[in-house]
Structure 1
Amino acid sequence: MLSVTAATDAILAALTTWPEVSVPLAMSSGRVLRQNVLAERDQPPFDRVTMDGIAVRHSAYAAGRREFAIAASQHAGDPALSLATAEACIEVMTGAVLPAGTDCVIPVERTTRAGGNIHVEPDYDATARQFIHARGSDHRQGYCLLEAGRRISAIDVALLASAGLAEVPVSKLPRIRVISTGNELVAPGTPIEAHQIRMSNGPAIVAMLQQQGFSDSAHLHLRDEQSVLEKHIGEQLADSDVLVLSGGVSMGQADFVPQVLSNLRVRKIFHKVSQRPGKPMWFGTGPQGQLVFALPGNPVSALTCCRHYVLPALLTASATSPRAAVTVRLAAPFRFAPALTCFLPAQLTADENGQLRAQPVPTNTSGDFTTLASTDGYLQLAADETDFPADSLQPFFHWAQS
Structure 2
Amino acid sequence: MISYAQALQQLLAAAPAARSEQVAIVAAADRILAAPVNSAQDLPPFDNAAMDGFALCANGQPVVAGSVLQVQGWQAAGDTAAADGDSAQAWEIMTGARMPSGLDSVVPVEQVEVLEAVEGRPTRVRLQATVKPGQHVRLRGQDVEQGETVLAAGALLDVNAMTLLHALGVASVQVQQQPQVAVISTGKELVSDATAELQSGQIRDSNRPFLVSRLRAAGADVVWNGVVSDDVAAFDAALDAALGAGAQVVLSTGAVSQGRYDFIPDALRARGAEIIFHKVAIRPGKPLLFARLADGTLYFGLPGNPISAAVGLRFFVEPVLRKMLGLAEEKVLQLPLQADVRKPPGLRFHARARVQADASGQLRVSVLAGQESFRLKTMLRANAWVVLEGEGDLATAGSLVRVQGWGHREPVQLSPLEMS
- The TM-score normalised by the length of structure 1 is 0.91
Query: Cα distance 1:374–1:104, how it changes in 2: closer, same or farther (>3 A)?
Result: closer
State how 1:275-314 maps to structure 2 within 5 Å: 275-314=282-321
Measure the CA separation in 1 of the matches of 2:329 and 2:206.
Answer: 25
Query: Cα distance 1:376–1:158, how it changes in 2: closer, same or farther (>3 A)?
Result: closer
Query: Cα distance 1:23–1:339, how it changes in 2: closer, same or farther (>3 A)?
Result: same
CA drift at 1:278? 0.8
Q: What's 1:164 paired with?
A: 169
Q: What's 2:56 paired with?
A: 56
AA matched with 2:83:
S
- The TM-score normalised by the length of structure 2 is 0.87
CA drift at 1:114? 0.5
Greater CA drift, 168-177 or 79-88: 79-88
CA drift at 1:184? 2.3
Q: Does 1:389 align with 2:407?
A: no
SS at match of 1:228: helix
Q: Does 1:130 align with 2:121?
A: no
Q: What's 1:92 paired with?
A: 93
CA drift at 1:166? 2.1
Measure the CA separation in 2 of the matches of 1:292 and 1:384.
Answer: 30
Greater CA drift, 355-364 or 127-136: 355-364
Contact 1:43 1:136 in 2 (8 A): yes
Contact 1:344 1:362 in 2 (8 A): no
Q: What's 1:4 paired with?
A: 4
Measure the CA separation in 1 of the matches of 2:63 and 2:143.
Answer: 29
Aligned length: 401
Query: Cα distance 1:285–1:103, how it changes in 2: closer, same or farther (>3 A)?
Result: same
Query: Cα distance 1:19–1:261, how it changes in 2: closer, same or farther (>3 A)?
Result: same
CA drift at 1:276? 1.0
Q: What's 2:417 paired with?
A: none
1:142 maps to which of 147, 152, 156: 147
CA drift at 1:275? 0.7
Contact 1:173 1:216 in 2 (8 A): no
Measure the CA separation in 2 of the matches of 1:150 and 1:289.
Answer: 29
Measure the CA separation in 2 of the matches of 1:205 and 1:267.
Answer: 24
Once the two structures are superposed, residues 94-151 of structure 1 have per-residue CA deviations (whole angstroms, 9 ceiling, x without a partner) of: 2122211222322222221414632213x63122222222222223111111112122
2:338 maps to which of 309, 315, 331: 331
Contact 2:15 2:320 in 1 (8 A): yes
Query: Cα distance 1:215–1:234, how it changes in 2: closer, same or farther (>3 A)?
Result: closer
Greater CA drift, 39-48 or 356-365: 356-365
SS at match of 1:8: helix
CA drift at 1:84? 5.7
Contact 1:40 1:162 in 2 (8 A): no
Aligned alpha-carbon RMSD (Å): 2.5
Greater CA drift, 323-332 or 152-161: 323-332
Q: Does 1:373 align with 2:375?
A: no
CA drift at 1:153? 1.3
Contact 2:354 2:366 in 1 (8 A): yes
Q: What's 1:399 paired with?
A: 406
Q: What's 2:414 paired with?
A: none
Q: What's 1:206 paired with?
A: 212
Query: Cα distance 1:72–1:352, how it changes in 2: closer, same or farther (>3 A)?
Result: same
Measure the CA separation in 2 of the matches of 1:192 and 1:25.
Answer: 45
Q: What's 2:416 paired with?
A: none
SS at match of 2:291: strand
Contact 1:206 1:217 in 2 (8 A): no
Q: What's 1:41 paired with?
A: 41
Q: What's 2:259 paired with?
A: 252
Query: Cα distance 1:80–1:232, how it changes in 2: closer, same or farther (>3 A)?
Result: closer
Q: What's 1:78 paired with?
A: 79
Measure the CA separation in 1 of the matches of 2:69 and 2:371.
Answer: 81
Measure the CA separation in 1 of the matches of 2:303 and 2:26.
Answer: 38
Contact 1:237 1:286 in 2 (8 A): no
Contact 1:37 1:163 in 2 (8 A): no
**Identical residues among aligned pairs (%):** 31
CA drift at 1:178? 0.7
Q: Does 1:174 align with 2:173?
A: no
Once the two structures are superposed, residues 186-223 of structure 1 have per-residue CA deviations (whole angstroms, 9 ceiling, x without a partner) of: 22332322222222212211121123343435421112
AA matched with 1:79:
T
Q: What's 1:226 paired with?
A: 232
SS at match of 1:249: coil
